[in-house]
Amino acid sequence: MPEWHVADSVAERHFGLLGQCAWAYLQMPSWPEPNLTLLGNALQQTGWKEAYPTSDNWREVVRGRIRGFDWNRVVADVRPFIDQGTNLDILSRENVLRVLEP
């Protein structure tokens, strides 16, 4: 099992993974929104105390979480899942935050 640098709980992992994939995911408008029920259930199971993501606020909730991540560790967590030789410069915090803008 991989070591999770970005997050310590299942719920935080969901946010981390969502943020890591957002730049690609959100550029494809035909893809559905994230499964907010599944995410809400994971947050509830971990004692989440903040606002739950809704279809109206999920982007800002995820953006808030991403702002607090050590981005070098995010890239290190993603690297094993990306083809060797792929330039991960596109996976910058700024790019991910940009595609999460409403």
pLDDT digits (tens, 9 = 90+) for 24-66: 666 666 777 888 999 899 989 988 898 889 999 988 988 998 9
Let me know if residue 54 belongs to a domain.
Answer: yes
Checking if the pLDDT of 17 tops 80, the result is no
For residue 53, which of 35, 69, 64, 40 has the smallest C-alpha distance? 40
Let me know if residue 3 belongs to a domain.
Answer: no
This prediction has a pTM of: 0.65
Let me know if residue 5 belongs to a domain.
Answer: no
Number of domains comprising the chain = 1
Let me know if residue 40 belongs to a domain.
Answer: yes
Let me know if residue 1 belongs to a domain.
Answer: no
Domain with 80, as residue range(s), is: 10-99
Let me know if residue 2 belongs to a domain.
Answer: no
